[in-house]
Amino acid sequence: MGLNRPISSGPADVAAAGSDSKPAEKTAFDIRLEKYDAAVKIKIIKEVRSFTDLGLKEAKELVEKVPAVLKKGLTKEEAAAIVEKLKELGASVVLE
């Protein structure tokens, strides 16, 4: 018969929708290489190989594709350590 009525939200649905007003804290981070000095390119490649399972050729290609995401899904602590090391080498790195 007249079942074409829109489904109304109950109080629980409204409360759940309203509780999302503040963003959830991010738990997975990506490391993106923005730029680096050509003089330290080899050191950057070696460092990228140390925290990825890439071979020399793959790491070199990844570094040369600047800007490029080097690693995804890291915890904040893991990502911060890698970012710090790359910055010490002279790279411009962003934590996303």
Question: What residues does each domain of the chain span?
Answer: 27-95
The mean-pLDDT minimum among 3-7, 37-41, 48-52 falls in 3-7
**What tens digit of pLDDT does each residue of 21-49 get?**
566 677 788 999 999 998 999 999 999 99
Q: How confident is the model at residue 7 (pLDDT cuts 50, 70, 90)?
A: low
pLDDT at 95: 86
What's 27-95's CATH class? alpha beta
**One-character DSSP codes across 9-48:** PPHHHHHHHHGGGSPPPP--EEEEEEEE-GGGHHHHHHHH
